[in-house]
Every structure is written in C-alpha cells, then in structure tokens.
Amino acid sequence: MIKLDKHRLILASKSPRRNELLKGLGITFSVRTKDTDESYPSAMDVYEVAGYLSEKKASAFLQEIEEDEVLITADTVVISNNEILGKPKDKEDAFRMIKSLSGGTHEVVTGITITSLAKQVSLQDKVRVSFKKLDDQEIEYYIDTFKPFDKAGAYGIQEWIGYVAVDRIEGSFYTVMGLPVHLVYDQLKNWDC
C-alpha cells in the first residue's frame, strides 16, 4: 500500500492508458499535461531513448513543481531490428510497422521519471514481445477498426491485435501498455522527500 501523506502526486501525461494503470495502483493523483517535443539525438542508443524522453517530459514541468508535489512522466518506444518505431504518421505507416512486427520478436521499452524538488529518479523497463504471423487482411482490419495512430509501433497489446497476435511476452504486460506499474509502486512506496 502506498501512503503519500506529505505529497500530492501528479501524472504528467495525456495517455488514457497511463491514467487507467496508475488508478489501478489505488492511489489518488491529478493530471497535468503539456505538449512536449518528442525528438531525441539521432546517434542515441535506441535502448536509452524512452528514459531520455521521460526525463525530457519532466523538464517541461520543472519550473512549476511545488514543494509537496511528486510528478510522474513516461515514454514508450517499440524497438525492432535496432530501429525505433514511434507513432505511425498514417495508415500506410501503421501497416508497414505492423507488417514488420508480424512473425517476429521485438522489444518495448517504457521509461519513467519520478520528480520532486528534492530528488529525481529515472528507470526503464524492457519487455520482449513475439507476434505470430498476421496476414494483410488482419493487419488492415486492425488498423481500420482500432486506428492505432496514438500508439508506439502502431499497436495496443490491450486491443484485438494483442489477443490474436501475441504468442509470447517476457516481462510486464503493463510496461508494454505504457507504464511499469510495479516500478512506480516500488518508488512511491519509499518516497520520503
């Protein structure tokens, strides 16, 4: 159980999935949002990007954090063949992304940054996800029905595609969905400043 007696928790995210997952921890929080630039240095190691972007999202709020506030920011990327798949630009881009994931194994990394005036902690969690082979009609059906344009790698594991395509996952389902709640819990449980 988490008791943040001295703090007010803020989720700095527009993602409805992160909101739902943090609620699942049974802790009260408010939401604050801002548009942040999600670019990263092109030479950066792909496994560092999610952590870097979660810190960058936190930086946008640093000036406004009050003494009793604890802020959570996060970022999720899909990595396939050492390439980052971000959010798809359009239907063709989404089709290309899912087709490249079909029949293979990729990784999902979610970085989280927890920030208060006295301390900042950044962590990331990596999960391996294997997809069965999907045919073109299945990929098109998913994109047309679920419109996954707000999702890294053009898919949501919590949606139809997760039911039919994912045949193996090594790591936390919730990390793939957008928030490693077990890591958030560990940090908040002991948050003392």
User: Which segment (98-106, 117-125, 171-179, 180-188) binds ligand TTP by CB under 6 A?
Assistant: 171-179
3-state SS assignment for residue 3: coil
* Using rule CB under 6 A, residue 124 touches ligand TTP: no
Neighbouring-strand partners of residue 77: 109
Is 192 among the residues known to form the active site? no
* Using rule CB under 6 A, residue 157 touches ligand TTP: yes
* Using rule CB under 6 A, residue 106 touches ligand TTP: no
User: Which segment (13-21, 63-71, 116-124, 135-143) binds ligand TTP by CB under 6 A?
Assistant: 13-21
CB of 53 to ligand TTP, least distance (A): 7
Q: Which is nearer to ligand TTP, 2 or 84 (CB)?
A: 84
* Using rule CB under 6 A, residue 153 touches ligand TTP: yes
Residue from 48, 10, 3, 45 nearest 26 by CA: 3
CB of 158 to ligand TTP, least distance (A): 6
Distance in angstroms between the alpha carbons of the first and the last residue of the chain? 18
Q: Give CA separation, 141 vs 38, 160, 161, 188, in Å.
A: 29, 10, 10, 40
* Using rule CB under 6 A, residue 170 touches ligand TTP: no
Q: Give CA separation, 79 vs 27, 83, 102, 114, 181, in Å.
A: 31, 5, 13, 23, 21
Instruction: Write each residue from 53 to 92 as x if it is in contact with ligand TTP (CB under 6 A), else as -, in one continuous string.
Output: ----x----------------xxx-x--------------
Q: Which is nearer to ligand TTP, 141 or 190 (CB)?
A: 141
* Using rule CB under 6 A, residue 14 touches ligand TTP: yes
Q: Do 53 and 111 touch, CB atoms closer than 8 A?
A: yes
Q: Do 156 and 142 touch, CB atoms closer than 8 A?
A: no
From the CB of residue 138, how many other CB atoms can be counted at a distance below 10 Å? 17
Residue from 181, 124, 129 nearest 157 by CA: 129
> Where do contacts with ligand TTP occur on this chain (CB under 6 A)?
13-15, 17-18, 38, 57, 74-76, 78, 108, 150-153, 155-158, 176-178
Cite the active site residues.
75
